[in-house]
Chain A
């Protein structure tokens, strides 16, 4: 073998060898998981409004600071039961610009895990206050505020969703109401709840 002298030999081994390794360690396992991870009984696919909420979650980059995965460790028990592959079966591609499932698992916990945020903070109003300015409900939080998901109006229409801000955080005049984007996002957040893992005795597969 003359890797030193034959560039075609060298480059082919580098190129095809890497593709082979990638099959073993990435594509193969991904296909296997895709075919074998079934949604848990009791889990529901996202509704259209929750899906739009996930889109806002992705666009605003919430993934940069929040995880959605509970590890089988004692310290993670506060966030729920350990996550299972089936928990993510309904995390699906969004559209042509997002032809793969969004990476909701995350890799850094600058903020708390959101696997079960819908159960932990079920109050819609809390969610709106928190998105308008996190400091209004959690003084030491360093999460960014998202005021552009809201509108300040002089007189809210009857069907508007008014955010009851404490005076320190309220704008000098007018009333803060949620836009559709905020409503979508809150619907998505409230949908984040773990379904129980039923240990199906005797049926290992499926």
Chain B
């Protein structure tokens, strides 16, 4: 090759040259610092939480790798899930929210001290919660409700303070209309405040089955009314912004919003299909699980139609590929959830590793990929410092391939597990047959973990430089 192509550069022939971020657009250093510190904490939890995940995946292959009570599988598993949920995903999401809400409302964030307080509270909850779980102090709950109530109260306080902070910001907005992102984001905060309260109040959970009903409601609403709406709201900002064009249809976004609220709230009972919970409740959950296809189609269609014709921009960006992967994942793997809710398929997949595959396909493929897209899209514009383009690409491919290996192995393995139970083979058969799939999970998990280390390095590369003077608030206002 003698001529240099505009895309394949000579010095890096294997990778597509990526466009540089436009120059710095934000000059409020206090704001930059707040968001960056949120992300730094979040990323620390990502590395810690997935290191634990990786260690857990090794325990499936070598159960005697340690005999330390604090590291025992049953105690450590909830440390993994709660750390990535409340430490990594929640904090990273809030960081982006703290940008998008003031930006779309053309107001400075109502209170910076309150936002710092929320950060401290949430970090505190994750630290105390993790230590308690390892010490064997949990609330006897199931997935994502394992923190005892005083710890969850700390977390809830953090969330409620942010909700208040955002409401005040929106109430004082400098534009007349409330942009759709804010609907989803405020939905997420208000719903989650209610959700945690309802799920931690004891009055109606005094026996095994009533507790199970609340657990199903909680489990699904934690992912469906916290992570999902806020990530969608953020995408309604970042996608058009990064593509530099308006969202395809505003009303599709509104339709998806209301169906999200009504349908998603109803489907918790599908976690206990065939359990001795009321049969009608399970049927309602299954019907609304099918109804969710409307929400999915409206949301995904809107995003994909916005991206249509921008293939080149996406290929030349290091943030948009994450967003594209996240949007496709949202559709595919939520639709997979609809299938899992159907009784005929649930009987094959329920209780198997297939569910674990679904958890990671959605939480990782959808939520975490969109987060990375938003972070790579935003931070260079705030700090003026870019990540290594090459490493951002390596991050993308390691995370994508790693999670494909992880989840496809478990989908195949989980299906075989279900078949082996249906054929009424001895139980241990379903443990033996999983071994190669658990090995593949550990391989995929290692790639994912490496991707997280690269991401942490990239975040450090994007750090704000200290030697900047603060701009007087009055000048700030003029710029806003």
Chain A: minimal CB distance from B77 (Å): 5
A141 to B212: give the CA distance in the assembly, Å.
28
- Assuming A62-B74, A106-B142, A109-B351, is B136 touching A101 (CB within 8 A)? no
How far apart are the CA atoms of A147 and B225 in the complex, in Å?
41
Contact check, A100 vs B202: say whether CB atoms are below 8 A apart. Answer: yes
B431 within 8 Å of A (CB atoms): yes
Q: Which of B136, B171, B209 contacts A59 (CB 8 A)?
A: B136
Query: Is A48 interfacial (CB 8 A cutoff)?
Result: no
For window 234-286 of B, CB contacts with A under 8 Å fall at 254, 261-262, 265-266, 268-269, 271-272, 274-278, 281, 284-285
B60 / chain A contacts, CB cutoff of 8 Å: 142
Complex Cα–Cα for A36 and B187 (A) = 34
> B146-174: contact bitstring with A at CB < 8 Å (1 yes, 0 no)?
00110000000000000000010011010
Neighbouring A residues of B178 by C-beta, 8 Å: 3-5, 7, 10
A195 at the binding interface (Cβ < 8 Å): no
Query: Chain A contact residues (Cβ within 8 angstroms of B): what range?
Result: 35 or more
Considering only residues 1-58 of chain A, those with a C-beta below 8 Å from chain B are: 3-5, 7, 10-11, 14-15, 17-19, 21-22, 24-27, 29-34, 37, 58
Report A76-91 CB contacts with B as 1/0, cut-off 8 Å.
0010001111011111
| Given A99-B149, A106-B142, A135-B64, A18 and B207 contact (CB-CB distance below 8 Å) | no
Given contacts A33-B209, A58-B140, contact A27 B198 (CB under 8 A): yes
The residue that A140 contacts in the complex, of B140, B207, B278, B428, with Cβ under 8 A, is B428
Contacting pair A100 B186 (CB below 8 A): no
Contact with A along B340-353 (1 / 0, CB 8 A): 00000001000111
The answer to whether A30 and B190 have CB atoms under 8 Å apart is no
B residues bordering A, Cβ < 8 Å? 59-61, 63-64, 67, 69, 72-75, 77-78, 136-143, 145, 148-149, 167, 170-171, 173, 176-178, 183, 186-187, 190-191, 194-195, 198, 202, 204-215, 217, 219, 225, 254, 261-262, 265-266, 268-269, 271-272, 274-278, 281, 284-285, 347, 351-353, 355-356, 421-422, 424, 427-428, 431-432
The 23 listed contacts between A and B (C-beta, < 8 Å) are A5-B178, A7-B170, A10-B178, A17-B261, A18-B225, A18-B265, A26-B198, A26-B214, A27-B204, A58-B140, A59-B137, A64-B74, A69-B275, A82-B276, A85-B209, A87-B208, A98-B139, A101-B206, A103-B211, A105-B142, A140-B428, A145-B63, A148-B69
Closest 3 CB pairs of A and B: A88-B208, A61-B74, A102-B140
